């Protein structure tokens, strides 16, 4: 694996971090736009979206890490 690919893969979660922090800052905003969505639903959506984006960003690390190159034994269909 080239060194640059490893560096880029480890940088992806760090690049996504500022948008997640900004998105979670919306939870503490006084005026959230007063839309048609309830506050609890909007808060849940914001947290869910932040967690999903961080998990997907972390999958880049799995592409270059040793643990991401091995098909797990517990997965069905492994011979």
**What integer pLDDT is reported at residue 78 of this predicted model?**
64
- Pairwise CA distance, residues 43 & 19, whole Å: 16
| Digit-coded pLDDT (tens) for 18-73 | 999 999 988 887 766 666 777 788 889 889 999 999 999 999 998 888 877 777 77
Burial letters for 33-52: b for 16+ Cβ neighbours within 10 Å, e otherwise? eeeeeeeeeeeeebeeebee
**What integer pLDDT is reported at residue 9 of this predicted model?**
94
- Pairwise CA distance, residues 9 & 54, whole Å: 13
Angle, vertex CA 15, rays to CA 68 and CA 26, nearest 5: 115
**What integer pLDDT is reported at residue 3 of this predicted model?**
92
């Amino acid at each position: 694996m080239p060194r640059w690919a490893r560096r880029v893969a480890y940088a992806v979660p760090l690049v996504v971090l500022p948008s997640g922090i900004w998105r979670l800052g919306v939870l503490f905003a006084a005026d959230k736009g007063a839309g048609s969505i309830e506050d609890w639903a909007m808060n849940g959506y914001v947290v869910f979206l932040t967690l999903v984006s961080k998990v997907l960003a972390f999958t880049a690390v799995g592409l270059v890490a040793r643990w991401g190159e091995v098909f797990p034994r517990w997965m069905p269909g492994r011979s």
